[in-house]
Structures are given as C-alpha cells and as structure tokens.
Amino acid sequence: MKNVIAIYPGTFDPLTNGHLDLIHRGSRIFDQLIVAILRNSEKTPLFSLEERIGMLKECTADLPNVRVDTFEGLLVDYAAQQKASAVLRGIRAVSDYEYELQMALMNRKLDSRIETIFMMPAEAYSYLSSRLVREIAQLGGSVTGLVPEMVEDRLRRKIKRVEPPGRLPVNRS
Ligand code: PNS
C-alpha cells in the first residue's frame, strides 16, 4: 500500500480561505498532508511564526491527515526528511504560472524524486493573496469572506494595536 505524503509549503502570513481551500483539496488526494511554514529570518511577517502555527492548527483541526510544521533551508531537503514525494502548490491565475514553473523545475533539478502537484483553488479565491489581505486590513477595509473568521478576528486585534502615524503621546504634566 502506498502512503503518499505531500508538503504544502508557504509563508501563510496570514492563512487565507484560498490556502484553506487548497488544504481541503490536498487532504482528499494525499494520504498525509504537511502544511509547512517557512521560517525566514530575513522577512518581517505581520504574524509571528507561533501565531501562524496556531491559526493553521486551529483551522485544520478537523482534518486528521493534515499536520502543521515549520521548516528552514531548502524545501527539497525538508521534503526528503519527511519522506514526502510531492509538493502541493496552488495556481490562481496565469500570472502565478511563471514563478511556480520556475520553482517546480528548480526543485526537480535539486531532487528529481519530488513531484510538484498544482491545484486550483475555488474560483472565488482566484484573486486572493495574503499580501492583499494584509494591505486591506491595515487600511481599515473588510476582509470578511477572504480569511477564516478566527484569522479575521486576529487581524482586527493586531491592527488595532498599531498607533496611527504622527500621533504623539499626550503630555499630562
Ligand atoms: O507562500 P510563498 O511565499 O509563495 O511560499 C514560497 C516558498 C516557501 C514555497 C518558497 O520560498 C520556498 O520553498 N522556500 C524554501 C527555500 C527553497 O527551497 N528555495 C528554492 C526554491 S526553488
């Protein structure tokens, strides 16, 4: 019996309904799906690694064959270490294709045992990205329906803490 393990890698800053849609689709195809968050010290994410792990774990708790993990270094090395034979990536529009193709072919060059499998999220999420969600939330727009409810709540709480620019502390003396 084959036990196909796939890695769904990404930054997930934050998790969107598009990511979640792909996780559901992947969990139906693969025996095990590992959602792997890149630990990247060069980027300053909106949500800390711990926060992103927490949100992903909570939103995938109903999927018994899905596990959340983190990785650093080369994706192919992590995949081999996890005995995974596939990498799952989402393709939303033609604009994603060039970057994804380059990455898939480079990963194949690095380790030919690992196949990249592309899946398309539901059409409703084809224009959705974490970057746009962050921008909309930071500018006070609504992200309802774009991210899971608990992510929306965390976004609201996180962004509330940011002081508007130029506001000086009140001098009460
Ligand atoms: O969500 P993202 O930012 O599109 O995910 C990009 C990710 C994490 C899949 C990619 O940056 C990655 O795999 N990084 C690990 C380093 C690596 O293996 N680089 C070579 C890729 S060909």
Q: Are 92 and 120 in contact (CB under 8 A)?
A: yes
Nearest to 130 by CA among 37, 16, 10, 8: 16
Q: Whose CA is nearest to atom 22 of ligand 1?
A: 103
Nearest to 15 by CA among 39, 43, 47, 40: 47
Pocket test for ligand 1, best of 16, 38, 108 (most atoms within 8 A of CB): 38
Residue 143 scores a pLDDT above 50: yes
Residue 173 scores a pLDDT above 50: no
The answer to whether the CB of 11 is under 6 A from ligand 1 is yes
**Which range, of 78-87, 94-103, 139-148, 161-170, averages the lowest pLDDT?**
161-170
Mean pLDDT calculated for residue range 35-57: 94
What is the tens place of the pLDDT at every residue in 88-111? 999 998 889 999 999 999 999 999
Burial (CB count <10 Å: 0-12, 13-18, 19+), residue 55: buried
d(CA 97, CA 95): 5
Shortest-distance atom of ligand 1 to CA 78: 18
The answer to whether the CB of 130 is under 6 A from ligand 1 is no
Ligand 1 centre from 45 Cα, in Å? 15
